[in-house]
Structure 1
Amino acid sequence: MPPFYCMIMKINIDCGGCYRKIRDALLKLQELESHLIERKRGRVIVFGEFDPQAVAIRMRKMINRRVQILEIKEAEVGSGEGEAFK
């Protein structure tokens, strides 16, 4: 089982069309649990069990824009805030 990652990427989001293209590409990636698009800051945060470099490369190919990885954090599944809901 691959590790659970939180990855922050920098992507230039100029307009509504760019935003929709990025959102649609993120929804097509099956390995992502969830995502957050910070339009004003030009950042995309993704969560899930995936290979960070592979996801960044696939995103770049899907949206035809430069994708820069800012930060990758590895999280342990079953720890943290999720414990409060069990």
Structure 2
Amino acid sequence: MTERFCCMVMRIHIDCNGCYRKVRRALLDIKELETHLIEKRQCRVSVCGRFNPRDVAIKIRKKTNRRVEILEVQELNINDEQSHEEKPLMIGSNTWNLESHQTQIETCLTCSY
């Protein structure tokens, strides 16, 4: 039996900390996702797991009420024999900006209601 392991990079507009929390909460509610990375300044979200990319994008769109644009999808086939071996994953670009900047404290118009 073959399982499909996907890594997907999406663009979701994140204006403020409220938007960030809304996107993070939506990602944590989706059971198919194993890992996620939210890049607030670049408005990019990367997710990995066993899922259908279109279905996950629709779920995030419904939960956050934000437009979701799929930038890149990478699918890996994992066989039963090779499932114990770890494979390196390359997602999007090689540069990750993991710095945490708290410059935007005020909320945007969409999160203030």
| TM-score normalised to structure 2 length | 0.68
What code does the residue aligned with 1:56 have? A
Structure 1 residues 14 and 73, CA gap change in structure 2 (3 angstroms)? same
1:1-86 aligned at under 5 Å gives the runs: 2-77=3-78, 78-81=85-88
CA RMSD of aligned residues (A): 1.6
Count matched residues: 82
The structure with the larger Rg is: 2
Identity over aligned residues, as a percent? 53
- Give the aligned partner of residue 105 of structure 2: none
Contact 2:33 2:48 in 1 (8 A): yes
Structure 2 gap segments, 5+ residues each: 79-84, 89-113
Bigger shift: residues 22-31 or 1-10: 1-10
Bigger shift: residues 22-31 or 69-78: 69-78
Structure 1 gap segments, 5+ residues each: 82-86
The structure in which a higher percent of residues are strand is 1
Structure 1 runs (4+) deviating above 4 angstroms are none
| TM-score normalised to structure 1 length | 0.88
